[in-house]
Amino acid sequence: MRHLALFILAGVISIGTVVSAQRPQMTPEQQAAAAARRQAEMNAPRPIPAFDSVWMEQLTWMEIRDAIKDGTTTALILTGGVESNGPHLATGKHNYALAVMGEAIARKLGNTLVAPIVTLEPGRPDSDRVAPGSVFLSPETYEAVLTDMALSLKSMGFKDVVLMGDSGGNQTGMKNTAAKLNARFGGTPARFHFIPEYYDYPTVRKFVQAEGITETMEFEASQGSDGIHEEYSIDAIMMLHDPRTVRLEERIKANRATINGASLLPIEKTLAMGKRIVALRATQTVAAIRTSLAAK
């Protein structure tokens, strides 16, 4: 056993020595050659046609490179969250909504790609009252993540970085991040835009009720007559992504396929309304983005 222990110790020391050893410094000639190789790789032609997607994580690096070269110079940073949302909705409610809204907004705006969704929201992760399913970032970590993402997009060549959030608690951190980055760079080589108009649920609630959906919910409220953090417009958007995220089948069996007095059935009607809600929100948001992009 003693010999085995010494052998293991020797192996650990040997591995540690290899890991900690620094890479030899390159000569100026080697540095120039490495830079030339990187430049050649960056200029290499794409060998296959580009995939049609607005989501950066679905694209190859060459597809993103060529999109930027061809004028796709706006990038969206979308923030959601994972939180407790009552007995019917998956905790990733905001992220599922963003998957639908991000696609619609980027397509309508044009020349735009969407960065990976920030799936966690700011909060108090050390609180003794974190609800099951709620996963938070500290406000400092949240802003640091947004800053690093925005800088990454700037560094790869995007000229306008747009920040929008699907949760109320996300707004301040995005506003702060955009302001700090604009102060730091002064608009060159990129500008950073916070768009609060995306998070305009009162207008959506007015639209829903004007269209004859009898939801008992005040326009400025965060919950309706059912007393939970759920509403018709969110359900309709989430159902466009996947009806299972609102547990529609289970709710039908339990005779709970309503929210705040508004029925989610027939499903075809709710999906059709969901598409109209998405179109409304996308139109409002794109108009606000274009106004910000046009501002000097």
pLDDT at 82 over 50: yes
Confidence band, pLDDT 50/70/90 cuts, at residue 35: confident
pLDDT at 211 over 90: yes
177, 183, 189, 194 alpha-carbon torsion, rounded to 10°: 40
pLDDT at 18 over 80: no
**What mean pLDDT is reported for the chain?**
92
Confidence band, pLDDT 50/70/90 cuts, at residue 13: very low
pLDDT tens for residues 229-280?
999 999 999 999 999 999 999 999 999 999 999 999 999 999 999 999 999 9
Task: Dump the DSSP string for 185-239.
Answer: HTTSS-EEEE-GGG--HHHHHHHHHHTT------TT-SS-TT-SS--HHHHHHHH
CA distance 232 to 263: 8
pLDDT at 225 over 90: yes
Check: CB of residue 238 under 8 Å from CB of residue 245: yes
Q: Which residue has the higher pLDDT, 23 or 86?
A: 86
Give the model's pLDDT for residue 5. 44
Confidence band, pLDDT 50/70/90 cuts, at residue 21: low
pLDDT at 72 over 90: yes
Q: Where do the DSSP E strands lie in the chain? A: 74-79, 112-114, 121-122, 136-137, 160-165, 191-194, 258-259, 262-263
Backbone phi, then psi, for 7, in 5-degree steps? -65, -45
pTM: 0.88
Could you tell me whether strands 121-122 and 136-137 are parallel, antiparallel, or unpaired per DSSP bridges? parallel
Confidence band, pLDDT 50/70/90 cuts, at residue 155: very high
pLDDT at 109 over 50: yes
Check: CB of residue 81 under 8 Å from CB of residue 130: no
Residue closest to 146 by CA, chosen among 117, 189, 187, 169: 117
CA distance 244 to 262: 18
Helix, strand, coil share of the chain (percent; to 5):
55, 10, 35
The mean pLDDT of 52-78, rounded to a whole number, is 98
